[in-house]
Amino acid sequence: MAKRIGSLFRKGWGVVWAWISKPRNWCEWAMVAVTIGILCYAGAQTGIATRQAKTLDRQTRILDKTIEMARSDQRAWVGAVQPVIVQLKDSSMRVSITIQNFGRTPALNLVPQIHVRTLTSSESFAPGRPAEPTDPKTRAALQPGQAFTLGPNEVPPISTDLADEINTGKTCFYAFGEVFYDDAFGEHHCTTFAYMLLPSLATWRVMNIYNTAD
């Protein structure tokens, strides 16, 4: 609206300038005066319309931000709790990790994944990009405050020989993974986690990469 009035305003002044650049009779001068009055009014309306449009835009941005903050406060937030080592009867060990919804609404269509990787002490840990399975076996729902354990059946055990290599520092053992889910507002999210088992075989170090939540 403001742009339309502004365009007419500029065209009107062009016509007025064409009139007053040449001598005219008093009747045409009267028309010029009336036209100038109309243009001044149109100019004032343009300013009002522009201010109203700016106010509306500002209010819209504030409302959008308020809605976004409310959704962020009320949505599901799914994260991983530090892994633990489960000792088996044959002296081997397995990794388990707890996935929990720390948010205020359910996490829907949840698909968790856990991976393990062994590298030599000279190799760098590079998990790559998160890859969501196209046809997951199950899609779960996780209520606010609810948690479940991922593993130890999902990952191979740590043999006694591998445990010795980790203990001596020759081999580094990593547990990492992803959790894909939808929040109650229909937004899709991905949480990633990555830990390295320390040589003591009792504690884990949080990696400074691949630990994100959107």
What mean pLDDT value characterizes the chain? 82
The reported pLDDT for the residue numbered 172 is: 96
Return the DSSP state at 187: -
pLDDT > 90: percent of the chain: 44
Query: For the residues 94-106, what does the mean pLDDT come to?
Result: 93
DSSP secondary structure code for residue 188 in this structure: E
- Bridge partners for 205 per DSSP: 196
Give me the pLDDT at residue 157, please: 86
**Backbone conformation region of residue 144, classed left if phi is above 0, alpha if psi is from -120 to 50, else beta:** beta
Amino acid 25: pLDDT:
58
What pLDDT score was predicted for residue 57?
75
For 175, the 3-state DSSP assignment is strand
CATH architecture under which domain 78-213 falls: Sandwich (2.60)
For the chain, give every domain's residue range: 2-74, 78-213
Q: Which amino acid is at 122?
A: S
| pLDDT on residue 28 | 59
Question: Which residues 6+ apart lie within 8 Å of 213 measured at CB?
Answer: 77, 78, 79, 189, 191, 192
The residue ranking higher by pLDDT, 203 or 82, is: 203
pLDDT tier for residue 163 given thresholds of 50, 70 and 90: very high
Is residue 63 very low, low, confident or very high in pLDDT (cuts 50, 70, 90)?
A: low
CA-to-CA dists, residue 93 to 53, 79, 86, 157, 174, angstroms: 65, 24, 5, 5, 14
Which residue, chain included where needed, has tokens 């009139």? 19
Tell me the C-alpha distance between 98 and 81, whole Å.
5
DSSP letter (8 states) at residue 152 = S
